């Protein structure tokens, strides 16, 4: 169960142990999934958190805290939307002791503090935060979609080729060059310009 401990920054190991030990909670590091960073499940009073394997200790830590907040709300038998009022408060309370410059680099810390004012269901909806977190990933061979000009073609992680058309509110309208279907991409989508 403790193999996840090596995935968090060293200065928070004791804190993470304190909020996870002595609980009927199974925490697993799993192969990366495209549709989610982590999840929490309860089945017959068995509680499991899965988190995508990553070498980014800051991302891993915040996803772990996010999922532990789900666990804590579930244990209190509070029935609400998964990312509703009680979860937000629990997430904020769990994160508050570690949101400091001893744990996080200052640029990341400022964005995390801003995000935690009203946390969303995923960091993926906070472009500036995602870009800052990505700086601590090992793979830096990409360009963000919002950094390329309209009309350019790019390859996305599924190896399909798209063309960037234009910005629509917060996302970018792009067209699949093979089947001509249109898709909306987040600004921080990692792409390879062709």
Topology of the domain covering 2-134: Zincin-like (3.30.2010)
Give the start-to-end residue ranges of the domains of the chain: 2-134, 143-193
Share of the chain above pLDDT 70, in %: 98
| 21-52 per-position pLDDT tens digit | 877 889 999 998 888 999 999 888 889 999 99
| 117-136 per-position pLDDT tens digit | 999 888 888 999 999 999 99
Structure tokens at 67: 């999922």
User: Could you name the CATH architecture of 143-193?
Assistant: Roll (2.30)
pTM for this predicted structure: 0.85
Contact (Cβ atoms closer than 8 angstroms) between residue 111 and residue 128: yes
Question: Of 164, 151, 169, whose CA–CA distance to 191 is shortest?
Answer: 164
- Whole-angstrom CA distances from 27 to 7, 16, 23, 40, 52 are 12, 12, 11, 9, 11
Give the total residue count for the chain: 194
Question: Of 17, 77, 27, whose CA–CA distance to 48 is shortest?
Answer: 27
- pLDDT score at 2: 59
Average model confidence (pLDDT) across the chain = 92
């Amino acid at each position: 169960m403790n193999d996840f401990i090596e995935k968090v920054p060293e200065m928070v190991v004791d804190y993470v142990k304190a909020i996870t030990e002595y609980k009927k909670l199974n925490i697993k590091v799993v192969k990366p999934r495209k549709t989610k960073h982590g999840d929490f499940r309860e089945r017959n009073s068995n509680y499991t958190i899965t988190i995508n394997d990553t070498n980014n200790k800051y991302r891993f830590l915040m996803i772990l805290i996010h999922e532990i907040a789900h666990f804590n709300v579930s244990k209190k038998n509070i029935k609400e939307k998964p990312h509703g009022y009680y979860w937000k408060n629990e997430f904020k309370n769990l994160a508050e002791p570690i949101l400091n410059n001893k744990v996080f680099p200052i640029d990341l810390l400022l964005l995390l503090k801003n995000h935690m004012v009203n946390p969303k269901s995923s960091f993926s909806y906070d472009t500036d935060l995602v870009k800052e977190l990505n700086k601590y990933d090992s793979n830096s061979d990409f360009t963000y979609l919002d950094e390329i000009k309209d009309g350019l073609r790019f390859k996305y992680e599924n190896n399909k080729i798209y063309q960037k058309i234009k910005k629509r509110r917060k996302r970018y309208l792009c067209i699949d060059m093979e089947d001509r279907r249109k898709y909306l991409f987040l600004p921080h989508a990692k792409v390879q310009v062709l």
